[in-house]
Chain A
Amino acid sequence: MNARLWRLYFLGLCTWIIAFVFALNFGIPADSPRDLISQLRFPRALLASAVGIGLSVAGAVLQALFSNPLCEPYTLGISSGAALGAVLAAALGINFIFFGITGSAFVGALLFGVILYFISRHRDTNNLGLLMAGVMLGFLGSSLVALWMALADPNGIQSALFWLLGDLSRARPRGAFFSLFAVLSLTLAAWGSWRKLDGLLMGEQDALTLGIPVPRVRTKMLILVSLLIAVCVSAAGMIGFIGLVIPHFARRAVGSLHQKLIPLCAIWGAAFLTFSDALSRSLFRPYELPVGVLTALLGAPLFLLVMFKRQGVK
């Protein structure tokens, strides 16, 4: 491990700490009960970090798994399952396992994940087939969501609507700690498979000839990614952009090998989302911008800038 790499990690961690402190302190109205704000803001910043880690790592794993740089956590349609679960629960007024929308979104995501699992275990499925199945599931899920929203009483699905756009405001202390713990465990598991993920980068066929048991790895990674997405999306709704773009930024900094890539994705993902969430909450008080909108507004120009700089150098 060279000095440049450690510097990069260190700077990333500093950025995250700064973003965290910013999230805790920026824009607190005068005369507020100090500890109550920490009760609200601290779990929220914690959850933002957890979801930032989860989504960027899931994005990196999926991009390697399908050797496709355009993949992201929502490609496989698992998040559509979560959306479907959330909307159904809100419309039917179900409080699933006392966790409300979170619980039903989690179940919905897992259900779609299980469907994909069985598809991937089928003898005739290869990576492309699985990808197509995932995309189709995604369409199915979002169409069902749209259908339900058209038919149901708008009042009943109000809260689901906000969740769909990305909503970290429902963070609670216990839930946030649990999410962080779950995401970190899953990230460690993904990190442990770095050699297998590396081998998949050049395609399914090359991976097989390099000695990687592709079907087995695919199944294991699918389970990991499903769980990651289920945890993140059920807690915070659909926050886009991070899973697609953070791995790209990280690869430009440390290359594509996952032993170095995954930790950097985690650090940058956490910092980016924590910062975006703080902004979304404070910019137009008391209106809250959906954080998914902010991540795209911040990230897209940044990404384009980096792309054009690269072209210039070439």
Chain B
Amino acid sequence: MESAAVSRFGLAGILLLLPLCSFARDITDSIGEQVRINDQPQRVVALIPSLAELTADLLDHSLEKIVGVSEFSDYPPALKKFASVGPYNRVSIEKIVSLRPDLVLASFNGNAKEQVAHLRELKIPVVVVKTDTFDEVEESMRLIGAALGRKEQGAAMAQAFRTGISKIKARGKTRTSVPKVMLQVGDSPLVVAGGENILNECLGAVGAENIYSDSRLSYPRPSVEDVLHRRPDAILVLQLSDSASSRASAARWDEFKKIPAVANSKVAIIADQGLLRPTLRMIEGLLLLEKRIWGEQ
């Protein structure tokens, strides 16, 4: 008699709890698409190194849930052992499909929109993320946290990010002058950070002004003449690969004594310590940027 009652009670309990165990849910991504994903994705593919890093941060010790990353996803170093799906600007759809992912993370501006559409047509859940402004980075932390089933971690990370940024912005507001800065990203041809670029916002946050903030491109290619015309107070060369080439790029400005930055020896190299990554490392990168422009605190 008692066992029958227990089993009936157990059954009722399970039936009552059933609605709470949703095995899949809908998420709205950065571009407004509704994506149906599992509660706890077990096979995640990140299509761009920055998102791979963010995913790794959020997953913490459960990195085995990642099954595929794009080429050159080398931070954190643990990512290097995962299968590569090709370069981020042209991933191999076939490789992605063969990994049987239940969640794919793509960047709005970084990955080819055609390929994202193709993956969606093949019924693969893709969450597209925008990370071009501080607000978007903060939102992406929440979004990816939610997608990975790590809602609290995502929210906490977003909050930490917001706090870090506010502190830097507060310091930036106290500065007495606003130096005009050019952030160089490439050489031969000269590529700089333009207006539609998170680097633009970074410069603004630390209290400087990007001399190319008026450009509607994210990475314009101005002529040297144009740089001379705009007279930057400081030139920062972002070191993306090896230091030797960055040193050479910096040294190339030496002959243009008319530029205030050169005249006042304000041409410096800044290592890429996460300045371009939508993770908490961006805060570190901003601190480094601050140091380079304003000197030691």
Contact = CB atoms under 8 A, between A and B. Distances in A.
Chains A and B share a contact (CB less than 8 Å): yes
A286 B84 contact: yes
Given A32-B97, A153-B218, A286-B84, A100 B114 contact: yes
Interface stretch (B86-94, B173-181, B279-287): B86-94
A97 to B, nearest CB: 15
Interface of A: 28-29, 31-33, 36-37, 39-41, 100-101, 153-155, 158-159, 162, 169-170, 172, 281, 285-288
A155 B118 contact: no
A40 B114 contact: no
A182 B113 CA distance: 27
B85 A153 contact: no
Given A153-B218, A286-B85, A159 B91 contact: no
Contacts of A41: 94
A293 to B, nearest CB: 14
Nearest to A151: B217
Given A36-B122, A287-B86, A281 B112 contact: no
A36 B93 CA distance: 11
B112 A158 contact: yes
A172 B86 contact: no
Contacts of B98: 28-29, 31-33, 37
B296 interface: no
19 contacts: A28-B98, A32-B98, A32-B100, A36-B97, A37-B94, A37-B98, A40-B94, A40-B122, A153-B196, A153-B217, A153-B219, A159-B112, A159-B114, A170-B118, A281-B94, A285-B95, A286-B86, A286-B92, A287-B87
Contacts of B196: 153
Nearest 3 CB-CB pairs, A to B?
A: A32-B98, A286-B86, A286-B92
B217 A170 contact: no
Contacts of A155: 109, 218
B92 A154 contact: no
B121 interface: yes
Given A39-B122, A286-B86, A170 B94 contact: no
Interface string B193-220: 0001000000000000000000001110
Nearest to A39: B122
Contacts of A32: 97-98, 100
A101 B94 contact: no
Contacts of B112: 158-159, 162
Contacts of B92: 281, 285-288
B123 to A, nearest CB: 9
Given A158-B112, A159-B112, A288-B86, A172 B94 contact: no
Interface in B95-128: 95, 97-98, 100, 109, 112-115, 117-118, 121-122
Nearest to A170: B114
Interface string B72-85: 00000000000011
A309 B219 CA distance: 52
A187 to B, nearest CB: 28
A251 to B, nearest CB: 36
A154 B217 CA distance: 9
B121 A172 contact: yes
A158 B89 contact: yes
B60 to A, nearest CB: 27
A209 B273 CA distance: 77
Contacts of A39: 122
A313 to B, nearest CB: 44
A264 B13 CA distance: 72
A162 B112 CA distance: 10
A259 B100 CA distance: 48
Given A40-B93, A101-B114, A155-B109, 4 more contacts: A33-B100, A153-B218, A159-B113, A159-B114
Nearest to B124: A36
A212 B180 CA distance: 73
A40 B97 CA distance: 9
B227 to A, nearest CB: 19
A33 B94 CA distance: 10
A281 to B, nearest CB: 7
A100 B115 CA distance: 12
Contacts of A31: 98, 100
Contacts of B114: 100-101, 159, 170
